[in-house]
Amino acid sequence: MATNVHRTVQLWRVVFIEDRVYRIRPSAAGPWHPDKGHAERWMHWFAQLGFKVSLESNQR
């Protein structure tokens, strides 16, 4: 008997944060990337430019 095994690949992306009075929410997000380190480097680069950012995974 064959089984259908589904493997989910973990992906990462930079999320831009919109900070408003009494509310913080994502305002935009970059593309998904399979390499966490690559996404982290982009996150740090945008943070150095003054953007409020965080890293998001497709696996919550």
Residue pLDDT, tens place only, 11-47: 999 998 877 655 555 668 888 999 999 999 999 999 9
Amino acid at 36: K
Q: What is the mean pLDDT of residues 1-9?
A: 60
pLDDT of residue 18: 78
pLDDT of residue 7: 64
Residues ≥6 apart with Cβ < 8 Å to 19: 52
Query: Do the beta carbons of residue 42 and residue 53 sit within 8 Å?
Result: no
pLDDT of residue 3: 53
- What pTM does this model have? 0.72
